[in-house]
Structure formats: C-alpha cells, structure tokens
Amino acid sequence: MGRYEQVHAALTNWQAFESGAGVGLSNWRTEKPWRPPSVVAEADPPHHDSTRDAIMKILAPRALGKLAKDWVADADELVEDLLGRTTDFDLMKDLARVFPLRIFPDAIGLPQEGRENLLPYSEHAFNSFGPPNDLVTQAAPRMPEIAAWVAAQCRREVLTEDGFGAQLYAAADRGDITQDHAPLLIRSLITAGVDTTVIGLGALLTLFAQNPEQWAHMRQDPALMRTAFDEAVRLDSPVQMIFRTTTQDIEVEGTFIPEGSKVLLVLASANRDPRRWDEPDSFDLKRDPSGHVGFGMGIHQCVGQHIARLEASAVLTALAKRVETIEIAGPVERRLNNTLRGWESVPVRVRLA
C-alpha cells in the first residue's frame, strides 16, 4: 500500500493488520526470528500495552525536559568546536552521526566502551526487515558477537543509576512490567533510537542546504524548528516502509487480501501522496506536516519521536545562531539499507553569521 489513506488506515487498525508476526518481510508465525522480538514494536494488545505504557512514561515530553538543557549545551559545544576548526565539513560524518552518539547512549545509561557497535547493530536490524540480500548476508557473520554485546549492555548491573535503563528496571520492580521485559525494552531503545535519529537529522540538515530560503526563514523564526524536523521526516522519511500481517481475510479498495498475508506499507509514498499533501515533493516550512506517517501511526507510533525532535532542535539552535548559509560543496552519497533511507556523506560549506 502506498496511498496515504490506506497506509494510515492499516497502521491504525492493529486488529486486522498485526505487528506480532514481525514488522519485516519474514512471517514470524512460520519463521524463526534472528533475535527475540521487540515487546513494543513487534507485539500487539494485550501483550503490548504494559510495555508501551512503561516506556512512554520515561520518554514523555515532560520527562525529557530535564535533558533539554544539557543537550542544548552539548550541541552548542559540538558546533562551536566544529566551526572553530573549519567551515567545510561533512553534515553526516561530522555532525548528524556524531551528536546522537554523544548524548543518547548516555541518556540510556550505557557505558562508553563498545559504542562503535551501536550503528552496525541498528543497521542490521533494519536491513533484516527486508529480503535476505547482500546487505543482510554480509553483516550476518558479525551479528552474534554484536548482538551479544548489545544484550550485555541491557543488564541492570552494567547501566548507570540515572538513565532510561535504570528507570525501566525500576518499573519492573514496581510490577509495571516484568523483569524479563526491562532488558528487551532497553534493547528496543538501542535498536531504534540512534540510527533513525542520525538519518533524520542528516535529512533535515541536507534539506536546509538544498533549500537556502527555508534556512533563512527558520533563522528569522526559530519557532519553526519543530515544523522543520517533521517536514523533513515527511519529505525524506528515514523509515521508508514497514510490514504488517493480516489476521483475517480483508478487502482494501477492491483488492482481496487473504488472512496471514504480509502487507508492505510504504510510509515514504504515503508521505508524498498528492491526495493528502499540496506540492508533496517540496520542503516547505509554511506547511503543517502533522499527520505524516514517518513515525508510524496508531498504537505502534514511534515512542522515541520526542527524543528525535529534541535532538534536532538542539542542533538547529546551535547552528542557527552561528551559520548564515549552508551549501552543498561536493558529491553527496546515499547510504544503502533495506528499510532506511539516508545519506552516507554530504559535504557542505557554511558561511558564518
């Protein structure tokens, strides 16, 4: 499904389009998953409810307010250091990939050692949602070792006492979730909370480089920062597609879909559907992008979207007060992934304010 109306309807109808059989191409009713399923993204009510509630409380906007000041200061320091050294740099390698890896693992409470495993693990997880092609098979030999490292970081004794991980174990102590669920929820944060933000932030900054009038507009009106990030997620959706599995025979727009079928929901297509969006291929801060499906929709909508917005706002705040213009300064390179769409390299030149 690629049209907005049908994609939105399927995402919000978990009773007919389940996530519990896996949100990738593989059907976990009949195939064995390469890792234990997520107890949030790959589960449906009633099994899904308590785990989502627990993580939503920890990642709610009000709760994240305590981190905002520190993240803004961290972004300020990163940008100040970068621009103090050069005005020619790579948006991905020097900024979009650096900032989330500086702050989000700290917020979870992960130790410093071994963080180079975070992006390869997440990349393989999203590749595995697609077909078992070279992107999957080439990374597969390393995955047992990396997956074991990730699992080890989810243990209570490894985590700091003040991060999201410790809060999830506290929720288990209260009986809000089971003790077995706590490490799986931490793994979900590790899987989905770094790579997607890296890609989303890179898409946002690249779109500003490609649309200088929108950068000038946002600098004049910083309140547009949140609009800018959601418009970037709509236009250049980091997660391009997701699968659901039908729990019953169902008809959609005259097409019969048997029970047990895998259905591909093309989020990126829905986010550019001209039936829903005027001039859908343009990056426009005058647009209201709310309602886009870049973060999903319904009960499985991305629980970490507020974190991503907060990270993007911190970086934009630091850049906007220092950088007057951003322009592409060399060949850009896409990064290949079965599910994600992002940049590998975006060389830019900036003019300081």
Cα distances from 136 to residues 169, 235, 267, in angstroms, run 32, 27, 22
Tokens of 60: 């709610």
Give long-range contacts, CB 8 A cutoff, 24+ apart: 72-76. Answer: 72/313, 72/314, 72/317, 72/318, 74/99, 74/102, 74/103, 74/314, 75/99, 75/311, 75/314, 75/315, 75/317, 75/318, 76/317, 76/318
Does any domain span residue 27?
no
Does any domain span residue 97?
yes
Which domain, by its residues, includes 73?
A: 64-239+271-352
Does any domain span residue 113?
yes
Amino acid identity at 142: R
Read off the pTM: 0.94
User: How far, in Å, CA of 123 to CA of 233, rounded?
Assistant: 18
3-class secondary-structure state, position 248: coil
Does any domain span residue 24?
no
Note the maximum CA span of the chain.
61
User: How far, in Å, CA of 17 to CA of 25, rounded?
Assistant: 14
- Per DSSP bridges, beta strands 242-246 and 262-265 are antiparallel
Ordered per-residue pLDDT tens for the chain, 353 residues: 999 999 999 999 999 999 999 999 999 888 888 788 888 999 999 989 999 999 999 988 888 888 999 999 999 999 999 999 999 999 999 999 999 999 999 999 999 999 999 999 999 999 999 999 999 999 999 999 999 999 999 999 999 999 999 999 999 999 999 999 999 999 999 988 899 999 999 999 999 999 999 999 999 999 999 999 999 999 999 999 999 999 999 999 999 999 999 999 999 999 999 999 999 999 999 999 999 999 999 999 998 999 999 999 999 999 999 999 999 999 999 999 999 999 999 999 999 99
79: domain CATH number? 1.10.630.10
Tokens of 173: 């102590």
